[in-house]
Amino acid sequence: MSVIETKNLTKKYKELIAVDNLNLKVEEGEIFGLLGPNGAGKTTTLLMLTTLKQPTSGTAKVNNFDIIKQPDKVRKSIGIVFQDPSSDDILTGYENLKLHGWLYDMPDDLRERRIKEVLELVDLTDRKNDLVKKYSGGMRRRLEIARGLMHHPKVLFLDEPTLGLDPQSREYIWNYIEKLAKEEKITIIITTHYMDEADKLCDRLAIIDHGKIVVLGTPKELKKNLGGDIIRLKAKNLDIEMLEKLKYVKKVDRCDSEVCLTVKDADKHLQEILKKVGKVDSVEIRSPTLDDVFLHYTGRAIREDSPEGGWAERVMNMRSRR
Amino acid sequence: MSELKGIYALWYREFKVFLRERSRVISSVINPLLWLLIIGGGLGSAISFGGINYQTFIYPGVLIQTSLFSSVFFGVYIVWDKKIDFLKEVLVAPMSRTSVFIGKVIGGSTDTIIQTSILLIIGYIFVYSGIMTGLNFNIISILITLAFLLVTIAGMVSVGLIIGSQMESPEGFQLIGSFLIFPLFFLSGALFPINNLPSWLAPFVFINPITYSIDGLRGVLIGINQFNVLLDFSVISLFSIIMFLIGSYAFKKMKI
């Protein structure tokens, strides 16, 4: 059964089409990734699915409720962890969760029980009475993930869940996401522009560019569909045209002084390629990663930071308020 | 029921934060005290109106000044909530935007009423220690004073939230806020009597809703008023209701 289904979902801003006739189905219980360069329309899609933005045309169903006609029911069905910190740092972790329980009209006993459960899930039980401003960036993210889960949503949206976190915290967050997908049995939608994150977590993913789905599939399929391995050559005076003519070379990308070839059965053909190329400075052969997939479909390498500055940076700004 | 719980949640947040930010409470009380003691005391040594010492005369104005500043600037917190994603967290909850607005108004009004109550207590102490004379403090006058303050504050918190809902940056809010508060304050008769104004100034003073708050308070606390206290109360209540309605509309239309 699909838990999310969009029908020609579109959002226009004056000249710009942020989301362009998007048709997408997400099945119950899967971790689904939305990938794309900055400004590709990921966050806008998320904001429409969570009823915070009205589509210009088209619609979508979340948990079988229409996002335009039944926004209240949609809101009760979803949990969301926003890109920027969305907890009050002058309240304690526990108070933030209590506030959330009230906003979602949870009965008192259920609320207290869930607070306990979700705090345990993200290992924050012993820090629950500390003010959030004393938390690290990673802890704050975990708290917000816990909060998003509190009211038993059918779908959990995670908008860039590890943006601006250090590698260790990212690893932690990934473990929690995998754990809760198993324990809470919910559908998770992740937007990210970390390819390793998408590869590790997502059952299926869609790469979006210019508001349209460019390609959709499991990480494994997508990598396989590139049609071979990557051979990276560094040499002077490479004859690109000659390389492109070879039958087993699927694609030739030039990056600086290097050339990346996508080659079918690369291990078999390496010898032949090297013979044709002549003297090389270095050569590297590897299996394709999602980065290669991304590059292949969007034609640009992903940029790591968003134009408005990273998540961590905003936490810093936020600390100086009040 | 669910809406009430949500409103309570928003109030709870504002109140907790307010209690934890003691510097906010203290600074909001110090400023009016300086007005009362220095401007009031200094000018009071030379000026009196209708037998009322200047310091006593501006006491209602100082109460309203505190109300104006704290309640309008409460709106800046919505800009901060917007800058981080706390506002989205609230708006994505299954409650109406009107309830979000009501919760914010009650939260901001609570903060401000606490600050003005501190000034009322200080006023009471001043009267009984003889620093100020001629203030009429009794249960009825205090209740009417609180009613005036509550209505004024709820209206001005709405004004602050209306501005906040339209602004993207705290700096912008500061600018617009000051641009609004200073004329409201100076043109309200907080610092001078309004019965004998120059003809060019009078219209500005009489279209200012805050004038009626101060006139009413002065009538109740000192016994000098230009208009009937009931008229004063009706004017400021009408103003606040209109601001409240505009505010809930602004929240419905607020872009995130």
What residues in A contact B85, CB-CB < 8 Å?
82-86
Which candidate from A91, A100, A103 shows the least CB-CB separation from B16?
Answer: A91
CB-based contact A87 B2, cutoff 8 Å: no
CB-based contact A102 B90, cutoff 8 Å: no
Closest residue, chain A, to B74 (C-alpha): A322
What tokens does A115 get? 């607070």
CB-based contact B17 A91, cutoff 8 Å: yes
What tokens does A91 get? 């309240």
CB-based contact B256 A53, cutoff 8 Å: yes
ipTM: 0.89
pLDDT tens per residue across span A27-83: 998 999 999 888 888 989 999 999 999 999 999 999 999 999 999 999 999 999 998
Distance CA A40, CA A61 (A): 21
CB-based contact A51 B92, cutoff 8 Å: yes
What tokens does B243 get? 């601001």
What residues in A contact B16, CB-CB < 8 Å?
90-91, 95
Distance CA A146, CA A140 (A): 10
Record the pTM.
0.86
Which residue is listed with tokens 């997400």? A26
Q: Does the CB of A103 have a partner CB in chain B at under 8 Å?
A: yes
In this structure, the dihedral spanned by the alpha carbons of residues B22, B25, B30 and B36, taken in order and rounded to 10 degrees, is: -160
Which pLDDT belongs to residue A298? 82
Chain B closest-CA separation from residue A84 CA (Å): 5
What residues in B contact A147, CB-CB < 8 Å?
89
Closest residue, chain A, to B96 (C-alpha): A72
pLDDT tens per residue across span B224-249: 999 999 999 999 999 999 999 999 99
Which candidate from A52, A105, A147 shows the least CB-CB separation from B5?
Answer: A105
Whether A146 contacts A114, CB under 8 Å: no
Distance CA A48, CA A56 (A): 10
If one compares A168 and B207, the residue with the highest pLDDT of the two is B207
Whether A22 contacts A178, CB under 8 Å: no
pLDDT tens per residue across span B88-142: 999 999 999 999 999 999 999 999 999 999 999 999 999 988 888 889 999 999 9
DSSP SS3 for A309: coil
What residues in A contact B91, CB-CB < 8 Å?
52
